[in-house]
Each structure stands twice: as structure tokens, then as C-alpha cells.
Amino acid sequence: MKELKTLLIVIFFTLFLYWGIEPFAHSKLHPAVEPANYDFAAEDISLANSNLAKAKKALEDSQKALDKASADDKEKMEDLVKSNQKLLDEAQGSLDRYTAFWDEINAIDLTVGDVARGEELMMTAGCTGCHGIEVAGLEAPMDSISSSQAYGVNPPDLSTAGKIYDAKFLAAVIKNPVMAQKLDHVFGEDKFHSMPEFYGVGGDINVELADMVAYLKSIAMSDDDIVKAHVEKVAEAEGLNEADKEKFFAGLSAKDKAFIVNRQVFFDACVRCHDMKYDELYTDGDKTSVAAYLGSTPPDLSMYIRSRSTEFLHNFINDTQKMLPATTMPRVGLTKEAETQVIEYMESIGDSTKDERQRVTIYIMIYFVILAVFAGLWKNKVWRDLE
């Protein structure tokens, strides 16, 4: 009976720690945020309003503290009030900028875009001076190392841009990449973003943006296109003839095809800065230049899925500033589908045995329960005749 009481006490405190203290500590270290919002205009304005409310509260609290401060602390509290006033002004300025920016983007009628004009604009606006469009037969003007050394990061190939980004975000990032990617705290008068703002080429800028978005959407590779392109690359690398290539393609399962697509989406969204060493994917460019451009070395993402929850990753990819204020990592801007594909790929590489681990864990717990029962019965048998 004494052992049973001890066991129950241990179980109670273990569960209290796991379901009580740990979630409480997590809530303090990582306060709850609004879930990922793929309407980026609403997301940015909501976060800006939230930051403004926090800044107002901080200023009010510091002013109250100043009123109650002693003579010795008065100067320090006055400095705090000035600092909080500055933060309030910055928060108000941020809200004004994002409201104005997304009002401009929302004014664009993306349904009237002309694909042919968009294709022409991609040339005349200078997009292909930095970007490749492999699906359209346009190679990047420089290799990835040279590009990243010149621009800080390697400009992405745009073959899948229309697939992994929605139309509104594409228009936003073409018009003003700094605002669309939420990097206005990093780039400004003293430091310029590698991609310039789009000011138009002489016509109605909103129509031109709609045309360019329509073109990118029209050439976007589908999942089948991505799988076929992968098969072609494998066939070329291994010297497969047509029959072997068809056999290889036919042998791909639905899971294999999903992995190929997810890997390509991850590559296009993340590999210009990050490694995935467990899958032998390395930064598509010069790491030193990328680190200097961003101010820190982007981490390898091989095990990131195990150190962060999927909820955190969705929120972080959706809006980096919401989860890590002032980070130099840009908003990725993916659609919900593309974002899910990125996280599924990260899970398949960094936590490939998750299902097996969870299944085995249940078996282990059952084993220990059975072991505890037999251990208790054995103990009673040995000790029942002894005082």
C-alpha cells in the first residue's frame, strides 16, 4: 500500500509539472499570438494595431511611474517616458505605412492582367536582368555564387512563383519588396534592398502589375510539371534511355511524387538562405554574402521541425515579425498550401520516424504498466510472510 501511495504521488507531481507548470512557463516565454493569416493586408494592419496598443500602454505606465517617482528616480523615469514615446511614434508610423501600402495593393484589379503584356514587361522592366525563368527557357544571367556576392542573396528563379505565392502578394513584392516582406526596419536610406521598387514603365502602374502577375501565374509549374522536371533531371544525370525513364516515372508512388513537389517548394522558398544538410541541400549562393546581407548566418533547418512546433512554423513563415520582432528574416509570403508543403518536407527530413516513434512510445508505456503490475505482485509474494 505504501508503494502505491508513493507511485500516485509521483504520478500526480509529474502530471502537474507536465500539464500545469510547463504550459504556464511556455505561455510566459512565448505569449499566444493570432493564428497565421494568409490575407497579408489584414495580418499586417492587425499586428501594427496590436503593437500600437502595446506602445500606448507602455507609455501610460511609464508616465504613471514618473508621477510617483522620487527625486532620485525622476531623471531615469523621464528617460523611460521619452523612450516609450519614441516607440509609440514608431508604432504609429508603422501602422500608417502598412495601411497606405496595402490600400495601394488592394486598389489593383488583378483580374484584368494580360499575359502577353506581362511577358513583355518582365523583359522591359528588367526582371530578367536578375531572375531566371527556367520554365520559359530563360536562364539566370549569373550563377548563384556570383549573384549572391553581387546582391547579398541569389535572386530566385520565377518558374514556381505563381504557384507558391498568391496574386496579391506577388503584386506587393514586385511593387515594394521591403514593405511586402516586412523589412522596413532593416532597409531604408542607409541600406538598400537588392530588389528595387517597381515604379512602372510608363503606363498605368496598377495595370502593369496585374499584367506581370498574370504572366507569372500563367507559367507557374503545376505539381505534375515539377515531378516531370525531376524525372528529366534524374534521367539526364543517370543517362537513362526513354524506356528506363518511363519505367522510373511509373515506379513513383503518390508519396514519392508528393515528396518531390514538397522538396521543390522548399528549395524555391528557403534554400537561397538556408541549408537542409540531412537531405544534402545547401544554400544556393555564397553563405558569407548571405550572412553579411542578413546580419547573421541563417540556420540549417534539418532538425528545426523537432525544436519548433508546426504551429510555430506556420505562424513564423506567415509573419516573421509577429514571432520574432526585428528579425532580419523576411516574410516568406507563401500560400497556405505551399507553406504546408514546406513544413511537410521539413518533417519528412527532420522527423521521418515520427509515426514509428509515437507508435513505439505507446507500446513502451503499455510494457511499463504490465511490468509494474508483475513487479508489485512479485514484491507482495516475497514480503508477505515477513514483518
Residue of 220, 213, 219 whose CA lies nearest to 125: 213
pLDDT > 80? residue 385: no
Q: Report which of residues 154 and 27 the model is more confident about.
A: 154
Q: What pLDDT does residue 375 have? A: 86
C-alpha cell at 81: 517616458
What are 364-383's pLDDT values in tens digits? Answer: 999 988 998 888 888 888 88
Per-residue pLDDT tens digits for 202-226: 999 999 999 999 999 999 999 999 9
Question: Which range, of 5-14, 158-167, 208-217, averages the lowest pLDDT?
Answer: 5-14
* Confidence label for 24 from pLDDT (cuts 50, 70 and 90): confident
Q: Across residues 7-21, what is the average pLDDT? A: 86
Question: Is residue 262's pLDDT more than 90?
Answer: yes
Task: Give the lowest-confidence range in 71-75, 270-274, 359-363.
Answer: 71-75
Res 10 pLDDT > 90: no
Q: State the cell numbers at 34.
A: 493570432
pLDDT score, position 79 = 92
CB atoms closer than 10 angstroms to residue 131: 20
Rounded average pLDDT over 98-109: 97
Q: Are the C-beta atoms of 198 and 175 separated by less than 8 Å?
A: yes
Backbone angles phi and psi of 251, in degrees to 5: -80, -5
| Cα(148)–Cα(146) distance, integer angstroms | 6
* Calpha distance 186→327 (Å, rounded): 9
Return the SS3 of 116: helix
Distance CA 255, CA 258 (A): 5
- Which residues have CB under 8 Å from 267's CB, separation 6+? 281, 284
pLDDT at residue 29 greater than cutoff 90: no
Residue 190: all three cell numbers together: 542607409
Mean pLDDT of the 157-185 span = 96
**What is the average per-residue pLDDT within 312-336?**
94
Confidence of residue 5 (pLDDT cuts 50, 70, 90): confident
pLDDT tens by residue, 172-198: 999 999 999 999 999 987 888 999 999
Q: Say if residue 1's pLDDT is above 70.
A: no
Domain assignments of the chain as residue spans, ordered by start? 41-102, 108-221+253-352, 356-387
C-alpha cell at 154: 541569389
How does the average pLDDT of the chain come out, rounded? 92
Q: What is the model's pLDDT at position 387?
A: 62
Does an H or E element contain 27, and which? Answer: helix 22-29
169, 339 Cβ separation under 8 angstroms:
no
Lowest-confidence pick of 3-17, 120-134, 244-258, 364-378? 3-17
Q: Residue 30 has what pLDDT?
A: 76
Q: Is the dihedral of CA 265, 267, 273, 274 positive or negative?
A: positive
* Residue of 70, 65, 104, 98 lying closest to 83 (CA atoms): 65
Instruction: Give the pLDDT confidence score for residue 95 in this predicted structure.
Output: 97
pLDDT beyond 80 at 46: yes
